[in-house]
Chain A
């Protein structure tokens, strides 16, 4: 491999990884944008989504086989299921805390995270589960870069979901309501917008996107584990902050930046792959010091 090949291959790696991060970061950023909550349980919803997708896939694989159709079907069903779980969590754990100080609801989010991961741990005895799909190792050589069909499908579906979300937020009435609530909840209430329903919808979409990423990760990496949500949760949070938390295009950009950063960071000679996380969290610290609003975030001006 020449240096150019390595560069291109790491570019591809970074984009694939980045699209996972972006999908999870979207949920983070939407929830933060609308109720100013850092939902630390978000990474665990990704993990739960992965397990639910795994269950559904094993249930329907007898019917559809390990085909793309089966995967798509299990992905859609688990997005629905975990989306509803997200709404349930919001109703039970967050709704009563909305008027409490921000810190209380943050701690609630941590508690939800623990409940989710420990429940799955208890159910699976903490074992790794093999997410078996018989997708091939075939792929295409783009120049000297080898990309499998699985990778292409995953990136395309991630991009598709992001585009749909963008259109939803910017072209529909509900999207408009979301943006309005993000600016001023009380005014929206006075205007007759059903704020609770919009918040629930936000949680549904965020959880469903995390689930999509979780199922994709399961298909792609082939193994799932109760603790897999923790690191990705932190990374998605970092991605959201990089892009400017609360901003949807920011989350997409942040995810991609983070993925590329990790892929190229590990390529530095004398610094091994174990430094990967150092790059992501290092940039988080730098950004918080020099540009706390993130790349696409706007400085909030409070008007009296």
Chain B
């Protein structure tokens, strides 16, 4: 038994060497993957790495890019700024042509300059802090929508639903307050009314006073910008108090747990969400392949990671060369690249021209894609 294992190991190593040799002969294109494969966010990072490798194997099977096969090198940023810097330096010194990656905004931020100095084109699939926009030296392209996009998605829905009087509730933490404030600015800027702008304490069970206060302002829609656990209770108590109009929640409330806690009260609640695989009809083949290859379900950012790698390969093909400047130019000129998470075009700030935020609606105890 032991002998056999050893033989298998030697065989595997030989095969690996052989493949490496072959790859070297074929003159490859090196693309760096930067995701956290260790640390607290490792699950998300590995999921993205899987998705990107799946994209690479599809591209290679179809003949590669400019006649070259893609090989990937993974740099582990561990969702930590220091380790991200080390990972980025490693990728730069391994002479990668391009980089796809960036999950945690805090870890991605310091790497922008490193890749920027080396002139390496980068596609960021997940990280989306608004700081990334200002710190971008011009080589990085974000294919995940920003907080501004979520606000636009929200405001569009409210407009479409004929909302005039909006109530916003947040929890006073950075994320929910930011979303609430941006929404209020945008909504009032459009000449509409925010009739209630409330803060609630985290973990508070009884929201009856808040609900009465909100109901008395007669809003056409209530927008909850914080997380699912308390959101479920607010939704439940709003409905119990007889509020029958529109309720919407931000992406922090995108959880099946919200529907479980709020029960029937959640029926018809809207939720703004990143394009996760389960809600994307175009991602069905991808999801099936992913399950087949990795024996697990694709997670939140799998679709965007996959799109990121495909987009990079497409840009290199369009550039017709591995010259980094030409690739950056090609990326900037991307027009309606058909990703599984939606079409990609960029603004002059290298963010998505058209947000890929999707709207979900609770139906029969499940989140389903709206429209």
Residues of A within 8 A of B (CB): 1, 5-6, 9-10, 13, 16-17, 20, 128, 130, 132, 134, 137, 139, 146, 148, 150, 217, 221-223, 225, 227-228, 231-232, 262-263, 265-267, 272-274, 276-277
Is B260 at the interface (CB under 8 A from chain A)?
Answer: yes
Known: A146-B242, A148-B240, A222-B232. A231 touches B257 (CB 8 A): no
The 26 listed contacts between A and B (C-beta, < 8 Å) are: A1-B216, A9-B212, A9-B215, A13-B209, A13-B212, A20-B206, A128-B229, A128-B261, A137-B264, A146-B242, A221-B236, A221-B237, A223-B232, A223-B261, A225-B203, A225-B229, A231-B203, A262-B209, A267-B209, A267-B212, A272-B198, A272-B199, A273-B199, A273-B201, A274-B200, A276-B201
CB distance from A298 to the nearest CB of B (A): 32
Q: Given known contacts A9-B215, A134-B264, A223-B261, what 10 new A-B pairs fall within 8 Å (CB)? A: A13-B208, A13-B212, A16-B208, A130-B232, A130-B257, A130-B263, A132-B260, A222-B261, A228-B203, A265-B209
Q: Provide the B249-267 mask, 1 if CB < 8 A to any CB of A, else 0.
A: 0000000010011111100
In angstroms, Cα B198 to Cα A148, docked, is 24
Contacting A at CB under 8 A, from B184-223, are 198-201, 203-210, 212-213, 215-216, 218
B206 contact set on A, CB distance < 8 A:
17, 20, 221
A13 contact set on B, CB distance < 8 A:
208-209, 212
Q: Which of B208, B218, B257, B264 contacts A263 (CB 8 A)?
A: B208
Nearest chain A residue, comparing its CB with the CB of B171: A274
Nearest chain A residue, comparing its CB with the CB of B209: A266
Q: Which of A132, A146, A223 contacts B233 (CB 8 A)?
A: A223
B212 contact set on A, CB distance < 8 A:
6, 9-10, 13, 263, 267
In angstroms, Cα B210 to Cα A232, docked, is 18
Is B241 at the interface (CB under 8 A from chain A)?
Answer: yes
Nearest chain A residue, comparing its CB with the CB of B232: A223
Is A273 a contact partner of B213 (Cβ separation < 8 A)?
yes
Known: A1-B218, A262-B209. A273 touches B198 (CB 8 A): yes
A17 contact set on B, CB distance < 8 A:
206, 208
Is B137 at the interface (CB under 8 A from chain A)?
Answer: no
In angstroms, Cα B204 to Cα A276, docked, is 10
Q: Looking at B201, B207, B208, B229, which has the most chain A CB atoms within 10 Å of its CB?
A: B208
Is B172 at the interface (CB under 8 A from chain A)?
Answer: yes
Is B203 a contact partner of A132 (Cβ separation < 8 A)?
no
In angstroms, Cα B213 to Cα A272, docked, is 9
Is B232 a contact partner of A273 (Cβ separation < 8 A)?
no
Known: A222-B232, A222-B236, A223-B232. A132 touches B201 (CB 8 A): no
Nearest chain B residue, comparing its CB with the CB of A13: B208
Known: A13-B209, A273-B213, A274-B172. A227 touches B203 (CB 8 A): yes
Is B239 at the interface (CB under 8 A from chain A)?
Answer: yes
Q: Which of B199, B205, B261, B265 contacts A274 (CB 8 A)?
A: B199
Q: Looking at A5, A13, A277, which has the most chain B CB atoms within 10 Å of its CB?
A: A13
In angstroms, Cα B236 to Cα A134, docked, is 12
Nearest chain B residue, comparing its CB with the CB of A1: B216
Is B216 a contact partner of A130 (Cβ separation < 8 A)?
no
Is B233 a contact partner of A221 (Cβ separation < 8 A)?
yes
A20 contact set on B, CB distance < 8 A:
206
Is B257 a contact partner of A128 (Cβ separation < 8 A)?
yes
In angstroms, Cα B225 to Cα A168, docked, is 48
Nearest chain A residue, comparing its CB with the CB of B196: A272
Is B239 a contact partner of A266 (Cβ separation < 8 A)?
no
In angstroms, Cα B257 to Cα A272, docked, is 27
Is A274 a contact partner of B236 (Cβ separation < 8 A)?
no
Nearest chain A residue, comparing its CB with the CB of B212: A9
Is A222 a contact partner of B199 (Cβ separation < 8 A)?
no
Is A273 a contact partner of B200 (Cβ separation < 8 A)?
yes
Q: Looking at B207, B239, B240, B257, which has the most chain A CB atoms within 10 Å of its CB?
A: B240
In angstroms, Cα B204 to Cα A225, docked, is 11
In angstroms, Cα B214 to Cα A13, docked, is 14
In angstroms, Cα B260 to Cα A146, docked, is 25
CB distance from A238 to the nearest CB of B (A): 15
Is A10 a contact partner of B233 (Cβ separation < 8 A)?
no
CB distance from B367 to the nearest CB of A (A): 15
A228 contact set on B, CB distance < 8 A:
203, 205
A232 contact set on B, CB distance < 8 A:
205
Is A223 a contact partner of B199 (Cβ separation < 8 A)?
no
CB distance from B196 to the nearest CB of A (A): 9
CB distance from A291 to the nearest CB of B (A): 26
In angstroms, Cα B4 to Cα A86, docked, is 61
Is A130 a contact partner of B260 (Cβ separation < 8 A)?
yes
Is B209 a contact partner of A273 (Cβ separation < 8 A)?
yes
In angstroms, Cα B208 to Cα A221, docked, is 10
Known: A148-B240, A221-B233. A276 touches B209 (CB 8 A): yes
Instruction: State the 7 A-B residue pairs at the shortest beta-carbon distance, nearest first.
Output: A13-B208, A266-B209, A130-B260, A274-B199, A273-B210, A130-B261, A1-B216
In angstroms, Cα B198 to Cα A6, docked, is 17
Q: Which of A1, A137, A223, A263 contacts B215 (CB 8 A)?
A: A1
A221 contact set on B, CB distance < 8 A:
205-206, 233, 236-237
Is B229 a contact partner of A223 (Cβ separation < 8 A)?
yes
Nearest chain A residue, comparing its CB with the CB of B257: A128
CB distance from B258 to the nearest CB of A (A): 9
A16 contact set on B, CB distance < 8 A:
208
In angstroms, Cα B209 to Cα A286, docked, is 23
Is B213 a contact partner of A266 (Cβ separation < 8 A)?
yes
In angstroms, Cα B213 to Cα A134, docked, is 26
Is B209 a contact partner of A222 (Cβ separation < 8 A)?
no
Q: Looking at A5, A17, A130, A227, which has the most chain B CB atoms within 10 Å of its CB?
A: A130
In angstroms, Cα B285 to Cα A202, docked, is 65
A266 contact set on B, CB distance < 8 A:
209-210, 213
In angstroms, Cα B215 to Cα A6, docked, is 9
Is B240 a contact partner of A137 (Cβ separation < 8 A)?
yes
In angstroms, Cα B229 to Cα A267, docked, is 24
Q: Looking at A146, A148, A221, A228, which has the most chain B CB atoms within 10 Å of its CB?
A: A221
